[in-house]
Amino acid sequence: MSAAPDSLKPFVMALAIAGLCLGATGAAHGSTAADDARIAAQLSRLEDGQDSPAARDWLSQLLNYAEQSRHPHPEGRGQTLPRYAIAARAQHLLRKWDQQHRLEQLRQQPALRGKALGQAQNHDALLNWLGEASMPELDAFRAEQGVHSWSEDILAVMIQRQARWTDWLALAERAQHARSWRLINSQAPLDHPQFARLLENLEANPALRGAAPALRARWVQRDPQRLAELAARINSRNWDLNLIETALLAQPPGLTTALIQGLQHPDQAALAAWALWRLRSPEALNALSAYTHSDVAAPHLAREIAAWLR
């Protein structure tokens, strides 16, 4: 600050004396409205100014004053409260200056600037810096912070700048938004030897679980062996919804036949019927129609299928 610190010294002393007097006399009503107005005006000037030892000293005195100079409780009854509003503004300003001080200390060390931004909890500034930082700076940030501490937004930026397999796994595990799914769906390395682990993370993530079958189907279709393994699982009739959704998208050989056979098993008939209705091929629709007249059909399911076919 400029001339403000010297001009504050009498006011600092006045506040300290007022606080001591109030504490000694036990005054219930604290300072006057005029005192509060002067304090608020000075706080506004400090908020627009810069950090300095004198300003910090004044804020420290002000915090003591806010505790000692109490004001009446809004419900009366002779109770009083500290001046929370004054204290909150002073504490916020001190925290702001502390953050600026940490950033300034590391401003001449570019490799650690990301760490400083992270410590200062300046999320937008950190994302902007990550988007522009050099590769050595990103390496230093990765070493200092570690993928375990990164938010979804930081993971996305790091993947776009300097993708590592651990970043993909963490994003699949923690992502909460559609933009992260679009990034995974469009850029995740399907040929990575541990891609199945990424799919497991997706399926365990409640926010993205519903999108996992589409990506698994694309992954399965890239390898004849994986497609054959999917067909074998369908034929084994050890089904769940994710498996059937993946099969509908990947289309392994023998899928329709396995689903038609599933209609004959009470524990699988409903899922088989739903999958055949999703297929809507002539063979699938004929099988559904035949089921509604079958002796093995569950009455409630037969009625539901008949309603679909109308």
**Predicted pLDDT at 53:** 85
Strand partners, 81: 71
The residue-averaged pLDDT of 118-136 equals 78
The residue-averaged pLDDT of 54-79 equals 75
- Gap between the Cα atoms of 164 and 198, Å rounded: 13
The residue-averaged pLDDT of 283-307 equals 93
**Predicted pLDDT at 19:** 44
Judged by average pLDDT, the poorest of 11-15, 21-25, 277-281 is 21-25
**Predicted pLDDT at 176:** 94
The residue-averaged pLDDT of 290-297 equals 90
- Gap between the Cα atoms of 39 and 85, Å rounded: 11
Per-chain mean pLDDT for the chain: 82
Most confidently predicted of 72-76, 122-126, 133-137, 267-271: 267-271
**Predicted pLDDT at 233:** 94
Give the pLDDT band (50/70/90) at residue 281: very high
Are 159 and 127 in contact by the 8 Å Cβ rule? The answer is no
- Residue 122: Cβ-neighbour burial (10 angstroms; 0-12, 13-18, 19+): middle
**Predicted pLDDT at 22:** 39
Are 271 and 241 in contact by the 8 Å Cβ rule? The answer is yes
Most confidently predicted of 7-16, 68-77, 134-143, 170-179: 170-179
The residue-averaged pLDDT of 231-237 equals 91
Are 195 and 219 in contact by the 8 Å Cβ rule? The answer is yes
The residue-averaged pLDDT of 248-267 equals 94
Q: Tell whether the model's pLDDT for residue 262 goes beyond 90.
A: yes
* Strand locations in the chain (E): 71-72, 80-81
**Predicted pLDDT at 123:** 78
Residue range 142-199, pLDDT digits in tens: 887 778 888 999 999 999 999 999 999 999 999 999 999 999 999 999 999 999 999 9
The residue-averaged pLDDT of 274-299 equals 94
Give the pLDDT band (50/70/90) at residue 86: confident
Higher pLDDT, 98 or 1: 98
**Predicted pLDDT at 218:** 95
Q: Which residues of 9-28 are buried (b: 16+ CB within 10 A; e: fewer)?
A: eeebeebeebbeebeeeeee
Residue range 212-230, pLDDT digits in tens: 999 999 999 999 999 999 9
The residue-averaged pLDDT of 5-13 equals 45
Are 62 and 8 in contact by the 8 Å Cβ rule? The answer is no
Higher pLDDT, 50 or 212: 212
